[in-house]
Amino acid sequence: MKFIDKLSKASQQNKSWLCIGLDPDPELMPRVSILDFNKAIIEATADLVCAYKPNFAFYEALGKKGLGILEKTIKFIPSHIPIIGDAKRSDIGNTAKAYAKAIFSTFGCDAATVNPYLGFDSIQPFLDYNDKGVFILCRTSNPGASDFQGLTCITGLPLYEVVAQRAKEWNTYGNIGLVVGATYPEELKRLRQLCPEMPILIPGVGTQGGDLALAVNYGVDARGGKAIISISRQILYASSGKDFAQASRHVSMEFRDRINRLISG
């Protein structure tokens, strides 16, 4: 099944455009193992999400043990829910090919985040897995995004718009999406206009200060979909006690229902 079809099916089944980032931070977690923490979060929220998004950095930081936890976490996610491997990879030809194989074949993710800075040949190995989703970093949610992404190019357009235009040109298989932060709502609105059919992965709601209403209203397509609202810390660390899983479910349900009201309203 192609990523976009799997995403749409999960969204319809769970009535959700909420994506939970599985980014375990031992300093913020309750006193349980990372794998047990992830499993509890997944069990508590699997009927409330359209996708899960493990950020590889949190697992790589733990070395070999962490990669094993990542692998087991991915296998624990129900098979009908898409997994976005948030690895932000990019490199030249053969190296990019190895990165794509690692994320899609070795770990079994349904989609990946990639950095377009090295150009098309760094992204093509990911696109060649034409049943997988490829989310290109376009206007990221961090404060330093403006250092480069907002610069005016020789065409007169800001760099993030040029990235979006190139993404449209490269979208031969229909498997490209964009990463656009909720912290830049006007840019999100513009990028949705430029790419009306693409899925957009929208981080930055919650702890980073992005406005949920603007993220939903500006991010959805003409049918009220394809805006994947990614939230991590507010859900994962809703409680530091033994009730952390139940608390995460409660917050997840609140976010899902708020997103749905914004779409329908």
Catalytic residue positions, numbered:
88
Could you tell me whether strands 227-231 and 84-89 are parallel, antiparallel, or unpaired per DSSP bridges? unpaired
Tokens of 59: 């697992």
Q: Which positions ≥6 away from 265 have C-beta within 8 Å?
A: none
* 229: helix, strand or coil: strand
> 188 and 213 in contact (C-beta within 8 Å)?
no
* Cα 32 to Cα 217: distance, rounded to the nearest angstrom: 38
The H-or-E segment that residue 178 falls in is strand 176-180
Beta-carbon count within 10 A of 114 CB: 28
Could you tell me whether strands 84-89 and 111-114 are parallel, antiparallel, or unpaired per DSSP bridges? parallel
